[in-house]
């Protein structure tokens, strides 16, 4: 039996890498069902992100990975047009899974939930997955050809 019946997490999931998979694994390890907020193109732009893939392609890629890596887990993907999506309104959400980088979002979420007379969620902070060079793995570093999706350094010939 899982610790929680429903948890939420979110991301842009532009290039799905080992850091994303670590967050997802942690979410599925502690919950029967995970709501995954997938950042809309509009929200990504508002946050200054320039995804390589449009929302529909990111949704397709994320769904494919989830079905392949977590075939027996229950999940729902919700389009995020704001920072929290269903985590603010869904009474049954018991926890928010975040990375070190986004851990402050939990406090903001709980304030919003309190305003709506909803119980607070537990914040589960998952340490950032580090690449082989000891720095964090990120989509930006992958786009810049510094590392691959597993966090391995790529040699750059100048």
pLDDT of residue 38: 97
pLDDT of residue 32: 85
Alpha-carbon distance of 101 to 104, in angstroms, equals 8
The CB density around residue 12, as the number of other CB atoms within 10 Å, is 22
The full set of domains in the chain, from first to last, is 7-128 (3.40.50.620)
Beta-carbon contacts of residue 129 (< 8 Å; ≥ 6 apart)? 18, 19, 22, 136, 137, 151
pLDDT of residue 1: 64
Q: pLDDT tens, 47-85?
A: 999 999 999 999 999 999 999 999 999 999 999 999 888
Beta-carbon contacts of residue 150 (< 8 Å; ≥ 6 apart)? 17, 18
Q: Looking at 39-43, 107-111, 119-123, 154-158, which range is the least confident one?
A: 154-158
| Spatial contact of 66 and 75, defined as CB atoms under 8 Å apart | yes
| Spatial contact of 120 and 9, defined as CB atoms under 8 Å apart | no
Residue 27 scores a pLDDT above 70: yes
In terms of DSSP H, where are the helices of the chain?
18-30, 41-46, 55-69, 86-89, 105-115, 139-143
pLDDT of residue 98: 94
**What length is written for the chain?**
158
């Amino acid at each position: 039996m899982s610790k929680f019946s429903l948890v939420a997490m979110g991301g842009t999931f532009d290039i799905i890498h080992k850091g994303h998979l670590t967050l997802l694994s942690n979410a599925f390890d502690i919950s029967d069902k995970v709501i995954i907020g997938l950042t809309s193109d509009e929200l990504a732009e508002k946050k200054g992100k320039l995804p390589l893939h449009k929302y529909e392609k990111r949704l397709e890629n994320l769904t494919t990975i989830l079905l392949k890596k977590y075939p027996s887990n229950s999940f729902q993907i919700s389009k995020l047009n704001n920072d929290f999506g269903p985590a603010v309104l869904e009474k049954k959400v018991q926890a928010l899974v975040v990375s070190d980088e986004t851990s402050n979002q939990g406090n903001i979420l709980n304030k919003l939930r309190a305003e709506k007379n909803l119980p607070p969620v537990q914040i589960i902070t998952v340490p950032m997955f580090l690449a082989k060079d000891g720095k964090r793995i990120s989509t930006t570093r992958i786009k810049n050809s510094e590392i691959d999706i597993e966090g391995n350094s790529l040699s750059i010939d100048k």
